[in-house]
Amino acid sequence: MPDLTHGDDAAAVNSLRSALMRLSRRLKHQRVDESLSPTEMSVLGTLANCGSATPGELARKEHVQPPSMTRIVALLEAKGLVRLEPHPEDRRQKVVTQTEQAETMLEESRRKRNAFLAGLIDGLDEDEWAKLRAAAPVLEKLAHL
């Protein structure tokens, strides 16, 4: 295992962190709806990827406190992006489901971000693009560890 705290390996980790943060910030600015916070967009993305969930489940997945998630869900509901439905087994709880409006907005946002990223990739040569394609599964793995 490489020593990631010293020398060239530490410099590579630092460079990777810095580049990923800058690229992430630039991608976050490629939004369709500027009125939504990054957290609200993340909640919609989680619902799109994982399906309906209770506010408590969403809070755990998004690493926020339940009262914060309750406020976020209320804001998204007021904007017509989610709806609250009765929990099928526990009448005390609600289930949060994204609306068609949210699905459409997320798809437009993905298209805009993909187009932005494709524009950046156009500036790479074939060797750089091949390396980036090869790195994509590793970056995906890191994102889910």
Q: According to the model, what pLDDT value does residue 35 have?
A: 84
pTM for this prediction: 0.76
Q: According to the model, what pLDDT value does residue 108 have?
A: 92
Q: Which residues neighbour 68 within 8 Å (Cβ) at sequence distance 6 or greater?
A: 59
Q: Which fold has domain 26-114?
A: Arc Repressor Mutant, subunit A (1.10.10)
* Single-letter amino acid, residue 24: S
Q: According to the model, what pLDDT value does residue 1 have?
A: 65
Consecutive 10-residue averages of pLDDT for the chain (145 residues): 75 91 89 84 93 94 94 96 90 92 93 94 96 94 84
Calpha distance 3→106 (Å, rounded) = 40
CB atoms near residue 119 (< 10 Å): 9
